[in-house]
Structure 1
Amino acid sequence: MRLPGSRRGRRLFAGSVLVAFGAVSAVVQFVDQMFPALLSRPGLVTAGSVALCLAWGLARARPQVAVRQEFGRPGMTVVVEEGDLFDQPGHLVVGFTDTFDTLVDDGVVINDDSVQGQLLARRFDGDARRLDAELDAALAGVTAVARESARDKPRGKRDRYPIGTVAVLGSRPRLVFAVAYSRMGNDCVASSGVQDLWQGLDRLWDAVHRHAQLERVTMPLAGAGLARLHDLDEDSLLRLILLSFVVHSWERAVCRELRVVIRPGELGRIDLAEAGAFLASLASGARRHV
C-alpha cells in the first residue's frame, strides 16, 4: 500500500479512514444484532473491515492531477495540470528578472534547473547568444530605468527595466513571453513581491492580447521558484494567477486557452480540488459580470 506523498494527502487519508471505520463499525454492529449468523468468523470480518477502510481512505486521498474550467463568456478554457512545461504546444510564458539576465554557466546568476534555465536549454538549444540577441531586439524600444556599475554588479547584465516589462521572443505559433516580475540583486539573488507579480501579470496579459492571436498559452506557477516570492504559498500564487487572467479576460479577450503547468514536485503542495472550486466561482462571476 502506498500512502499519499503530501502532508495534505496524508491528513485526508487518515481522516477518511477514521470516517470509514466509524461507518463500517456501525454497519457491523447492526448486522451483528439483526443477523448474528452472518458474522460467525470475527477475524475475517475484522480483516475485511480494515481493508475496506484503508481502500476508502486511499481512494479519497488520491491527488488530482488536473482541473479544467470552461468559461462561456468570454469563451475560453483554463486548465491547471501536472506536467512538463516545455512539452506543451503553443505559446509559453517564462519569468525573468528586471535585468533579463541569462548567464547559467556558473549557476550563480541563473540556475540551470530553473524555468529560465530550461528555456535556454530546450527552446534555444543552449545558445545563450541567440537568446540574448532576441532579448536585445525585443527590448530595443524599452528604456532602461537604471544601469548598475561593474563594481556593484560584477556578474551578468546591468541594465534594469521596469517591472512588468515583457519581451516577446520567437515567432508564432511558439512565442515566448519573457516577463520581468522579480528584481535581480547585485548579489545575483532574485526577489519579488505580490505587487511585482500582479504588475507583471497585468502587462503579460496585455502582451498576450496583442501578439498571441487568441492562441493557447502555457505558463508555470509563477513566483513559486527562485523568484523567492515568500509572501504567498503555492495555493495562493495559483489563485492570484487565475484571478488576474480572468479579470483581464472580462475586459477583453486574452487567449482561448490558458494552461498553468505544475511541476510534479510542486503538485503535493497544491490543493487542486480547491483550485477547481475557485475556477468554478470565477466562471459563475464571469456570467454575472457579462
Structure 2
Amino acid sequence: MKELLQDMRTRRFWLKFLTKTFALLGTVTAVVKGVVAWLPERADWFGGGTVFVIALICCALIGLALTWPRPIECEYASPQTKIRIVKGDLFEQNGDIVVGITNSFDTEIPQIIEQKSLLGQTIARLYRNDWKRLDADLETALSAKPVIDTIEKPGKQNIYELGTVATVSNGPRRIFFSAYSEMSGSNNASTKIEVVTKSLYMLWDEVGSRGNGQPVAIVPWGGGLSRISSVLPAQDSIRLIILTFMFASRRQKVSDELTMVVPEPFFKNLDRLELQAFLSSLRGSQ
C-alpha cells in the first residue's frame, strides 16, 4: 500500500491520469455532439449539469483504472521474451541467477568477501558457508578461461579478463558468476561504467549459450563490490541491464524471461511508473 500511495504521488501518475480522463471526456463530448446533430429532438437528453458531472465522474474512474499501477513487466514479440522488475530475494526466484564477483574470483569469507554481500549470501545460502566447495566449482568452470595476469595479495592471485563468466550448476539451476569488477592488492574491488557494459554483453553471450533459454534473474549492479552506486544508481543500472539484454537478444536467443530483482530498500526509491514506461517504450523499437 505504501508503494501504491508513493506511485500516486508522482507527477507521471497524475499527468497520465488527467490525459486519459480528458481524452475520454473529449470522446464522450464528441459522441454527444454527433447524436445531437443527427437527432436534435433528443438534445434535452443531454441537458443540465447533472449529466456532465456524471460523465466526468465516469471518465475519471475509467482513467484511474487505466492509470492504476500494475506489476512492472512487459512481453515482447521480437525478441520473444519477457522482462519483469520485482521486489524480493534473488535466491527465491525460479530459474538461473547472476552473481557478481571480482576478476580474481575470490570467495573466502569473511576474511576477503563480506558475508552480507550478494556473493557472501550465495555462499551462505547455496553452499552452506562452504566457500571451498564453491572454489572447486569455480576452478572447474574457469579451466578453459585464460589467466591474463597475477597479483600479489592475500587470497587468490590469478587474474582473469574483466567480464569473464564462470557458469556453475547448483541443483536445478545455473549460477552465472560475472567478473565485472577488479580486485586491488589490498582486496578492494572497483569497476567502471564501460567495464560494467562490456561485462553485461559477455554475460548475455554466456547465458544464451549455456542457459538453454531458461528464465534468468539478476540484481541491479553498481552497489556492493563495484562501488559505483553514486555514478550508476539503481534506476539507471536497471535500464542499462535491460537495454543490453534486449540488444543481445536481437543477435541470439538469451532467455525466455529476465527478472530484475530489486531489494526492498532500493525498490521503494524507484520511479516505478517511469520503469514501466521504459519497458513499454522498448516495444516501439522492435
The within-5 A match list for 1:143-162 is 143-149=146-152, 153=153, 155-162=154-161
1:97 and 2:112 matched: no
Rate the CA distance shift 1:280–1:11 in 2: closer, same or farther, 3 A: closer
AA in 2 matched with 1:266: F
Could you state the TM-score of these two structures normalised by the residue count of structure 1?
0.74
Residues 208 and 3 (structure 1), Cα distance of their counterparts in 2 relative to 1, 3 Å cut: closer
In the alignment, what sits opposite 2:219? 220
User: 1:276 Cα deviation (Å)?
Assistant: 1.1
Aligned equivalents of 2:7 and 2:190: distance in 1? Answer: 30
Counterpart Cα distance in 1 of 2:163 and 2:251: 19
Cross-structure match for 2:250: 250
What is the TM-score with the length of structure 2 in the denominator? 0.75
Q: Is the partner of 1:255 in helix, strand or coil? A: coil
Structure 2: distance between partners of 1:71 and 1:168: 27
CA contact (8 A) 2:7 2:271 kept: no
Code of the residue aligned with 1:177 in structure 2: it is F
* Identical positions, percent: 32
Instruction: Name the stretch that deviates more: 271-280 or 130-139.
Output: 271-280
CA RMSD of aligned residues (A): 2.9
How much does 1:226 deviate? 2.9
Which runs of at least 4 in structure 1 moved beyond 3 Å after TM superposition? 2-6, 8-13, 63-66
Show the counterpart of 2:89.
84
Contact 1:193 1:231 in 2 (8 A): no
In the alignment, the residues of structure 2 paired with residue 64 and residue 93 of structure 1 have an alpha-carbon distance, to the nearest angstrom, of 28
Distance 2:70 2:266 in 1: 11
1:279 is aligned to 279
1:68 maps onto 2:73 in alignment: yes
Tell whether the 8 Å contact from 1:172 to 1:212 is kept in structure 2 after alignment.
Answer: no
Q: How does 1:1-290 map to 2 (within 5 A)?
A: 12=10, 66-106=71-111, 109-149=112-152, 153=153, 155-170=154-169, 173-229=172-228, 230-286=230-286
The answer for unaligned runs of 5 or more in structure 1 is 17-33, 35-58
Deviations 1:114-139 (A, max 9, x none): 11011101111111111000001111
Q: List gaps (5 residues or longer) in structure 2.
A: 15-48, 50-63
How many residues were matched structurally?
A: 238
The CA distance in 1 between the partners of 2:156 and 2:268, in whole Å, is 35
User: What displacement does 1:66 show?
Assistant: 4.1
Q: Could you say what secondary structure the match of 1:170 adopts?
A: strand
